Amino acid sequence: MAGIIVNQSKITDIDGAVKLCPFGAIEYTSNEVQINAACKLCMICVKKGPEGAFIFQEDKVEEIDKSLWKGVAVYVDHLDGDIHPVTLELIGKAKELAAKINHPVYAVFIGSNVTEKANDLLHYGVDEVFVYDNAALKDFKIEPYTAAFEDFISKVKPSTILVGATTLGRSLAPRVAARFKTGLTADCTILDVKENTDLVQIRPAFGGNIMAQIITPNHRPQFATVRYKIFNAPERSENPNGKVTVGTVPQDKLASAIEVLKIKQKEAEENISDAEVIVVAGRGIKKEKDLEMINELAAALGGQVACTRPLIEAGWGDPKKQIGLSGRTVRPKLIITCAVSGSVQFKAGMSNSDVIIAIDEDPKAAIFDVAHYGIVGDIYQVVPSLLEKIKSM
């Protein structure tokens, strides 16, 4: 079993050893320093502990033949054939990754009456679109969708599969990944690929102010989900390239224990992901009432208001207005953050914005690491002063 081995003889300072672990996974019981189930294999104890005290022991693994898995595939997220824009963004990234390792780019399109639409993807540089078009696939039901996806993977053997982290993608990708007993990394913010075709997946991790680089060294396919507005969509080219291939799912695998009784259209609501200008309120806002000043600023700039997680937790905002890892990703032309410290989780949702202006009284706030204009000041002074100027225009 892979894990951390403790070399008791190398430990002189027991207390210090126990304190090494930020997750409380090192404990002193039965006169021994032990690693408990809280271990996340972050390797801090190996690196920071006394020399040779904590040793990482790896498993012997059966190597897989990675050359048998070829292609970077994108799942086509859509509603009744309307393709979600995250799909094109992923195709853009897939092309980049595929070019590095000389792999083809695939798309897998599952639905009803979608074959026509599949042709459109050929304008974006997909080499081959695999279509599963069947009336039984009209509504999203987990079993038949997984069956179609499974058929695609078994036949095509793609090395990497990118899925949009939409509501549907977050439900489907883990299901398919588990079927193939392979790895899935959620909400990646940076993707790259190694020469040996290992996908380099980077995302905020451990709930801390830290990024992790995650790989799936010995399993294929490698699954990653990515949110909307993280990558760039490619330009549409006039001339289509590549081909559409029709796949079929065996009839018996189209059955489902789920019956869709009714679909209600939700009222179209403002979506911060589509906003061109956003003003963000952070925990430096002292009272709910003070949000008025933020609302006013957003209105004056013709933009929308968003907030950080603590404000949502306090019940001061609609969860749909949260920016970040567990909220939405945004990419506006202008974003002004007001009293936001700039945790990795927050930045993961906005760092690609065109112009970032940050107002924070702490000159060391991490938000200034991504800001283009960093304003060290009190929002209770800067914002009213700015509003006054705008009003007297």
Partner 1 sequence: MEIVVCIKQVPGTTEVKVDEKGNLIRDGIDSKMNPYDLYAVETALKIKEEKGAKVNVITMGPPQSEAVLREAFMMGADDAYLLTDRKFAGADVLATSYALYQGVLKTGKPQLIICGKQTTDGDTAQVGPEMAEYLGIPHVANVKKIHEVKENSIVVEMDMPTTMEIVEVQFPCLVTVEKGIFQPRLPSYKRKKQTVNKEIVKFSLKDFEDQDEKQYGSSGSPTQVERIFPPDVNTDKEMWEGSGEELGDKLFKKLADLKFV
Ligand X SMILES: Cc1cc2nc3c(=O)[nH]c(=O)nc-3n(C[C@H](O)[C@H](O)[C@H](O)COP(=O)(O)OP(=O)(O)OC[C@H]3O[C@@H](n4cnc5c(N)ncnc54)[C@H](O)[C@@H]3O)c2cc1C
Q: Does position 290 bind ligand X by CB under 6 A?
A: no
Distance in Å, CB of 292 to ligand X, minimum: 15
Stretch that binds ligand X, among 114-122, 144-152, 195-203, 282-290 (CB under 6 A): 282-290
Q: Helix (H, G, I), strand (E, B), or coil: what is residue 92?
A: helix
Stretch that binds ligand X, among 21-29, 131-139, 230-238, 355-363 (CB under 6 A): 355-363
Q: Does position 294 bind ligand X by CB under 6 A?
A: no
Distance in Å, CB of 206 to partner 1, minimum: 6
Report the alpha-carbon distance of residue 157 to residue 377 in Å, rounded. 55
Give residue 246's identity as a one-letter amino acid code: V
Residues 10-39 that bind ligand X (CB under 6 A): none
206 to 245: interface string for ligand X, x by CB under 6 A = -x--------------------------------------
DSSP 329: -
Report the alpha-carbon distance of residue 261 to residue 392 in Å, rounded. 55
Identify which of 272, 276, 274, 282 has the alpha carbon closest to the alpha carbon of residue 358: 282
Q: Which does 126 bind (CB under 5 to 8 A by kind): ligand X, partner 1, none?
A: none
Q: Choose between 231 and 368: whose C-beta lies nearer to partner 1.
A: 368
Q: Which does 25 bind (CB under 5 to 8 A by kind): partner 1, ligand X, none?
A: partner 1
Identify which of 196, 104, 200, 197 has the alpha carbon closest to the alpha carbon of residue 156: 104
* CB atoms closer than 10 angstroms to residue 287: 8
Tokens encoding 8: 């008791």
Residues 303-342 that bind ligand X (CB under 6 A): 308-310, 322-327, 339-341
Q: Say if CB 227 and CB 86 are below 8 A apart.
A: yes
Q: Choose between 166 and 343: whose C-beta lies nearer to ligand X.
A: 343
Q: What angle do CA 38, 44, 47 make, to 5 degrees?
A: 145
Distance in Å, CB of 293 to ligand X, minimum: 11
135 to 174: interface string for partner 1, x by CB under 8 A = ----x-xxx--x-------------------xxx-xxxxx
> How does DSSP assign 375-387, residue by residue?
EES-HHHHHHHHH
Q: Choose between 235 and 313: whose C-beta lies nearer to partner 1.
A: 313
Show Cβ contacts of residue 346 under 8 Å, excluding neighbours closer than 6 positions: 308, 309, 323, 324, 325, 340, 367
Residues 364-393 that bind partner 1 (CB under 8 A): 366, 368-378, 380-390, 393
Stretch that binds partner 1, among 110-118, 127-135, 154-162, 340-348 (CB under 8 A): 340-348
Q: Which of 72, 153, 277, 280 binds partner 1 (CB under 8 A)?
A: 277
Tokens encoding 121: 């993807």
End-to-end CA distance of the chain: 69
Identify which of 216, 193, 196, 205 has the alpha carbon closest to the alpha carbon of residue 325: 205
Report the alpha-carbon distance of residue 231 to residue 365 in Å, rounded. 26
Stretch that binds ligand X, among 30-38, 117-125, 281-289, 350-358 (CB under 6 A): 281-289
Tokens encoding 16: 């210090």
Report the alpha-carbon distance of residue 226 to residue 94 in Å, rounded. 12
Stretch that binds ligand X, among 47-55, 133-141, 165-173, 357-365 (CB under 6 A): 357-365
Distance in Å, CB of 267 to partner 1, minimum: 10
Q: Does position 68 bind partner 1 by CB under 8 A?
A: no
Report the alpha-carbon distance of residue 80 to residue 135 in Å, rounded. 11
Q: Does position 286 bind partner 1 by CB under 8 A?
A: no
Binding footprint of ligand X on the chain (CB under 6 A): 207, 282-284, 308-310, 322-327, 339-341, 343, 345-346, 349, 359-362, 365, 378-380
